[in-house]
Amino acid sequence: MTLTTEKTTTDVVALAAEIGRASAPFEAAHDRDGTFVAEAYAEVRNRGYLGLAVPSDLGGLGAGTLDVMRAQRELAGWSGSTALATTMHHYLTLVQCWRRDHGAADAEVVLRRIVDEGLVMATSGGSDWVCPTTTATEVEGGYRLDGRKKFCTQAPAASVISTSAVLGPPGPDATVLHAGVPLSAPGVSIVETWDTLGMRGTASHDLVFDGVFLPAEKVMGRRPYGQLTGPLLVAAIHFAPVVGATYLGVADGALAEALGVVRGRPSAAPSAVRQLGEMQARVRVAWWALRAAVEEVGPAFAADEATLLTLMTAKRHAVLEARAVVDTAMDVVGGPAFFRTSPLEQAYRDVRGGTFHPLTPEATLAALGEAALAAA
């Protein structure tokens, strides 16, 4: 897990702000209509932002985990949907960087394709998590995949889906296969199901696999059914800090809106001033938690439960604090925030998505408790 450099930080955050400014005028329409943030993705492609986390020696921007977090936090202040959608690509890019560092021969090919071909990676990891319902049936030369995956964010723009399928009858003796499946493969189709409370521009539609052929050599890894280990564990470790920063960026945008409204009033009520200070404190401490967690596990982290719980604990704090900040911003602004024309109305809905990503806040507490009991 590469951390950061000061120069890279400045460059990528500025780039994220440019993309955000270009995308913001289309945000309200996509939220209203539940349509994909296509204009933002045009900017992402044209400005090389897909290669944010690709190492510089492979032609990317060379952003480490902390830089990706900073950039995504900035972007989310402009467009929550754009930031969340691209987060799914960026954390998978970080996974490929980790795999490259650990000797996976195919990882460098994937990273080069991101830069050279504009490859966009999506994931179905939040769909059926440790117990996939999609089946893998052994056939000559590989496997046949059948099933349906939900929450496939940025499906209209994606080139490949990082997914899993169970080999054999589901249960403790079954094996789960992990692989990347091209969305252009015969038998893959998108079903437009995404009609949600918030993050409506992410187009997190369903994907259907109907007799999709997966060559045996494309299997990236295996793990026992029902266990958060192997490729899924590595993915979850890289996902947690980046998605936490994304939702913190939504809170940043809400805080900025509340500050602007209060500054425009003839005088600021003492209660509003205090609430602005509370919001400042919450976002700062949440950011400190995310940054410290990444620094604590370090660049040579072990892909184990301890690393996962460190990062998931920080993610839990960030998404809950982000929600609290947006709620407080609504209180500070008052009645005008209740109108659909207010950016806070959308932020209020968007930020609620943070608690649904695994591990959820409650699941994180349960895992921490179980770990503590096991260590006693």
pLDDT tens-digit map of 50-83: 999 999 999 999 999 999 999 999 999 999 999 9
- Are β-strands 135-139 and 142-152 bridged in parallel, bridged antiparallel, or unpaired? antiparallel
pTM: 0.96
Compute CA distances 83 → 69, 71, 133, 190, 261, whole Å. Answer: 10, 9, 28, 22, 24
Residue 76 inside a domain? The answer is yes
pLDDT computed for residue 244 by the predictor: 98
Are 147 and 132 in contact by the 8 Å Cβ rule? The answer is yes
Q: Which of 140, 141, 139, 143 is nearest to 178 (CA)?
A: 143
Same domain, 217 and 288: no
142 has which bridge partners?
139, 215
Q: Is residue 366 predicted with pLDDT exceeding 90? A: yes
Give residue 161's region: left, alpha or beta (phi > 0; psi -120 to 50).
beta
Residue 61 lies in domain: 6-119
CATH number at residue 348: 1.20.140.10
Q: Is residue 5 predicted with pLDDT exceeding 70? A: no
Residue where a domain stops, chosen among 97, 119, 141: 119
**Mean predicted confidence (pLDDT) in 167-172:** 88
Same domain, 234 and 361: yes
Query: d(Cα 31, Cα 347) in Å, to the nearest integer?
Result: 11
Same domain, 314 and 371: yes
Same domain, 216 and 241: no
Q: Which of 145, 144, 44, 30 is nearest to 93 (CA)?
A: 44
Same domain, 246 and 356: yes
Q: Which residues contact 116 (CB under 8 A, 6 or more apart)?
A: 59
pLDDT computed for residue 205 by the predictor: 97
Residue where a domain stops, chosen among 89, 119, 149: 119
Q: Is the peptide bond before 92 cis (omega within 30 degrees of 0)?
A: no
Q: Look at residue 191 and give its three-state secondary structure.
A: strand
Are 117 and 47 in contact by the 8 Å Cβ rule? The answer is no
Residue 251 inside a domain? The answer is yes
pLDDT computed for residue 2 by the predictor: 67
Same domain, 51 and 102: yes
**Mean predicted confidence (pLDDT) in 287-307:** 96
Residue 201 inside a domain? The answer is yes
Residue where a domain stops, chosen among 173, 207, 224: 224
The better pLDDT of the pair 128, 97 is held by: 97
- Return mean pLDDT, the chain: 96
**Mean predicted confidence (pLDDT) in 242-261:** 98
Same domain, 190 and 234: no
Same domain, 240 and 366: yes
Query: d(Cα 110, Cα 251) in Å, to the nearest integer?
Result: 33
The total domain count for the chain is: 3
Q: Is residue 17 predicted with pLDDT exceeding 70? A: yes
Are 161 and 124 in contact by the 8 Å Cβ rule? The answer is yes
Split at pLDDT 50, 70, 90, the class of 7 is: low
Q: Is residue 215 predicted with pLDDT exceeding 70? A: yes
pLDDT digits (tens, 9 = 90+) for 261-270: 999 999 999 9
CATH number at residue 147: 2.40.110.10
Split at pLDDT 50, 70, 90, the class of 3 is: low
pLDDT computed for residue 168 by the predictor: 85
CATH number at residue 22: 1.10.540.10
Same domain, 153 and 242: no
Same domain, 245 and 360: yes
Same domain, 188 and 235: no
Residue 171 inside a domain? The answer is yes
pLDDT digits (tens, 9 = 90+) for 312-341: 999 999 999 999 999 999 999 999 999 999
Same domain, 130 and 213: yes
Q: Look at residue 215 and give its three-state secondary structure.
A: strand
Residue 1 inside a domain? The answer is no
Q: Is residue 35 predicted with pLDDT exceeding 70? A: yes
Q: What's the Rg (C-alpha) of the chain?
A: 20
pLDDT digits (tens, 9 = 90+) for 113-155: 999 999 999 999 777 889 999 999 999 999 999 999 999 999 9
